[in-house]
Amino acid sequence: MRDAQSSDEFVIDFSALPLSSDLLRLIADEKEEFEAVLGRAVAFRRAGEGDAAWIVEVPRNVGVGPELRWESPTRLASVAGSESDLMATMNALHTLSRREVGAVAVGPAASVGDAVELIREEIANTFPSFALRRLDWDEISERHLRTLPEASEFSDFAASWIAELGDAHTAIRTPESGGFAPPYRGGLAADGVHLSEVPTGSAAWEAGVRPGWIVEVGDTARLMRTVGATPQQLSQVRARRAMAIRGELRVFRARDERSGREIEWEERPEPPNLENTVRVEGPADDRWVRVRAFDPRVDLQALFDEVIAGASSSSRITIDLRGNTGGSILLATDLRDRFLRARTMIGYVAFTDGRGGMAPRRERWADPSERSRWPGRVDLLIDAMTYSASEDFVLGLQGMEHVRVGGSVSGGGSGRPCRIPVLPGIDLTVSTAITYDRKGFPVEFRGIHPD
């Protein structure tokens, strides 16, 4: 960060680029991150000539890539022609904050050696929880960097290196690391995925597969080496990755060790809809709602309107978030606010400053929703795969008189990751924050504990 301390306030003015209301809200909701890196209070308004400000410059020429640069000691500019380009420059803020050069062109590194140095530097200066996890990044890096890989082996090399951090948010992302996750749960072992949950009516269930069966998956040793997560969720995160569907169809084979039966079935990706995202059971005064993901493509707000209609102070709702790995933080917190009774201090957050330090903890507050709100008791169910945005849902409610949290310890990953290009087709995501509950207990790594 350049020395720009002549004013108390740094103005963020992205009005030169048309932005969606959701992106504007997301930017405003994470102002503590900008304040941690910029070192001063942030305001969102039109910037005047004398303001220290972060502005957008839309490139005049086609093909100009996104860039974040200091135009003067008090004027920061994102060169961006689209929302995605602006987000790319925002993700580069931590990088720019510690470099002597006045600009960061967002794009892949020029060589494997440069990519290795980028990863080493980004994680060393941005990752927030070395102390919480009792990790020594220099020692981890020294073991992995004795020999540099060939370009064709880079993604597995880098994924193995970063997996030692034990954070599912901090990872190497490639097209192969994504995919559609079918609705099964289990843990990955050397002989395959040991299923613990096979939903009634799913393709595997209809084929005859049941909990306790083992699904054959390829290259389990590679998955064990390259996929990292917190201890409470590690085997399940690996299993989810092992069973991901990339493409239009995947054929699975499972066996029952007790009977010796083997079954094959076909699985296809399903577009998200209410039927496969949420399940509602029970009468109006005793609802059970299982939310599998906070997917903004599904109108969960309208569904909760229906669930809340007719409820009274004597009603009870059980919201089952077991297996919900997150999704949209805006949707998760909007739905959470429908269970608040008053303006509430929901916890704290501390962001990294991009230079190896942490900004002080800041209080986070939330207000009750302006939409219909649940008037009765609330039971929340969580487990190790309740993660990310799902933990933000729970965080603001736990400890309230009308709310009880049951189940097992959550995944521990409310880390606000940023995304950085490393090589063509290979990105790095890095957590930037530690979230705490109202008592000051960290969600990151340790998870939310049931009541």
Taking the CA atoms of residue 324, residue 166, residue 243 and residue 190 in that order, the dihedral angle to the nearest 10 degrees is -130
Q: 237 and 420 in contact (C-beta within 8 Å)?
A: no
Domain extent, residue 152, equals: 112-166
Mean pLDDT of all residues in 380-408: 97
90-133 residue pLDDT tens: 999 999 999 877 999 999 999 999 999 999 999 999 999 999 99
| 241 and 280 both lie in a single domain | no
Across the range 161-176, mean pLDDT stands at: 96
Examine the pLDDT at 63 and tell me if it is beyond 90: no
State the pTM of this model: 0.94
pLDDT at 7 exceeding the cut of 60: no
With contact defined as beta carbons under 8 Å apart, do 103 and 112 qualify?
A: no
pLDDT at 3: 43
Q: Is residue 448 assigned to a domain?
A: no
Average pLDDT for 425-445: 97
Q: Based on the fold, state whether residues 334 and 372 are members of the same structural domain.
A: yes
Q: Does 449 map to a domain?
A: no
- CB neighbours of residue 150 within 10 Å: 8
Q: Say how many domains are in the chain.
A: 4
Quick one: average pLDDT of 211-233? 97
Query: Do 280 and 326 sit in the same domain of this protein?
Result: yes
117 lies in the same domain as 80: no
Looking at the structure, tell me whether residues 309 and 404 fall in a common domain. Answer: yes
Is residue 287, in this structure, part of any structural domain at all?
Answer: yes
pLDDT > 70 in the chain, percent: 98
Tell me which of 38-47, 54-63, 260-269, 287-296 is least confident: 54-63
Give the residue-averaged pLDDT of 414-434: 95
Q: Are residues 342 and 244 in the same domain?
A: no
Q: Which residues on adjacent β-strands are paired with residue 253?
A: 264
CATH number, domain with residue 38: 3.30.379.10
User: Which of 274, 261, 254 lies closest to 186 in space, CA to CA?
Assistant: 254
Task: With CA atoms as reference, report the closest residue to 68 among 82, 38, 43, 88.
Answer: 88
Angle at 179 between CA 173 and CA 185, to 5 degrees: 110
Q: Are residues 239 and 313 in the same domain?
A: no
The band of 391, judged by pLDDT with boundaries at 50, 70 and 90, is: very high
- Output the CA–CA distances (angstroms, integers) from residue 12 to 24, 75, 163, 339, in the order listed: 11, 10, 35, 32
Residue 171 lies in a domain: no
Please say if the pLDDT value at position 2 is more than 60: no
Kindly tell me if the per-residue pLDDT of 229 is higher than 70. Answer: yes
Are 424 and 358 part of one and the same domain? yes
Task: Give per-residue pLDDT as tens, 192-205.
Answer: 999 999 999 999 99
User: Would residue 441 count as lying in a domain?
Assistant: no
pLDDT at residue 1 greater than cutoff 80: no
Residues 66 and 201 in one domain: no
Query: Average pLDDT of 344-373?
Result: 96
End of a domain among 166, 194, 212? 166
Residue-level pLDDT at 6: 43
**The predicted structure's pLDDT at residue 310:** 87
- Cα separation of 227 and 234, whole Å? 8
Of the two residues 163 and 60, the one the predictor is more confident about is 163
Do 30 and 81 belong to one domain? Answer: yes
Across residues 321-344, what is the average pLDDT? Answer: 97
Q: CA-CA distance, 55 to 39, in Å (whole number)? A: 17
Q: What is the pLDDT of residue 320?
A: 98
205 plus 349 within the same structural domain:
no
Reply yes or no on whether the pLDDT at 4 is more than 80. Answer: no
pLDDT, average across residues 161-186: 95
